[in-house]
Amino acid sequence: MPISEIDKLIQLLSKLPGLGPRSGRRAALALMKRRDALLLPLIDALERVADTVRACSTCGNLDDADPCAICRDPRRDPASICVVADVADLWALERANAFKGRYHVLGGVLSALDGVGPEQLSIAPLLRRVEAGEVKEVILALGATVDGQTTGHYLTDRLHDFDVAISRLAHGVPVGGELDYLDDGTLIQALKARQKV
């Protein structure tokens, strides 16, 4: 029978993305059964992360040092900034090993519905970074959603007066994707942006 302390743990675990009340219970049981192999190491890891991890004051990445490892890395081109909505997007690009410049995490996208305006996002710090002069290229790596594209247009406007090249990610057929399963919007974009072979 779940009781107070265990219940509290289950409630918190259930709030994690991908978990619900049922999987929260399973996770709590797994932790209690594997005290030395899982429960105690997890407490330790969470405490270290809570103690050390902060948002980078330059780019907004999460790291245990400020500036973060990417902003500190001299091999990464400071002239090229890739703008992403979220730290998860930055991680995805890093996993793909796709980019050798630096990043800027907006902390979301503009959304009239959710009441997210330019002040709620890290846009002023981005403009200051560009204004400082070292940046020559800004890549807008935002989702191909209405809000992502709106945010991209807004940033393009704001960056217009600076001497930087602005680009956005290509739209088209995802690698491994079958035409049959793609939506009309993607097919239209892929056709429009067709490339000579």
Provide φ and ψ at 24, rounded to 5°.
-60, -40
CA-angle at 19, arms to 13 and 24, nearest 5°:
45
From the list 120, 134, 125, the residue with the least C-alpha distance to 162 is 134
What are the start-end ranges of the E strands in 25-95?
Answer: 54-55, 62-63, 77-84
The amino acid at residue 197 is: V
The number of residues that bind a second copy (CB under 8 A) is 52
Contacts (CB under 8 A) with a second copy, residues 120-159:
none
Q: Which is nearer to a second copy, 91 or 185 (CB)?
A: 91
- Determine, following the binding rule CB under 8 A, whether residue 106 of this chain makes contact with a second copy: no
**Least distance from a second copy to the Cβ atom of residue 57, Å:** 16
User: Site residues for a second copy, window 18-37 (CB under 8 A)?
Assistant: 18-19, 23, 25-33, 35
Map tokens 């743990």 to a residue: 9
Q: Is residue 72 at the binding interface for a second copy, with CB under 8 A as the rule?
A: no
Measured from the Cβ of residue 180, the count of other Cβ atoms closer than 10 Å reads 5
DSSP tag of 111: B
Q: Does 84 bind a second copy (CB under 8 A)?
A: no
Answer for which of 74, 88, 163, 170 binds a second copy (CB under 8 A) is 88
Residue 197 in the binding site for a second copy (CB under 8 A): no
Q: Is 15 in the site for a second copy (CB under 8 A)?
A: yes
The residue among 95, 48, 100, 96 whose CA lies nearest residue 70 is 100
Taking contact as CB under 8 A, which single stretch among the options 6-14, 131-139, 160-168, 171-179 is the one that binds a second copy? Answer: 6-14
In this structure, which amino acid lies at residue 101?
G
The footprint of a second copy (CB under 8 A) covers 1-6, 8-9, 12-13, 15-19, 23, 25-33, 35, 38-43, 45-50, 52-53, 61-64, 68-70, 87-88, 90-91, 94
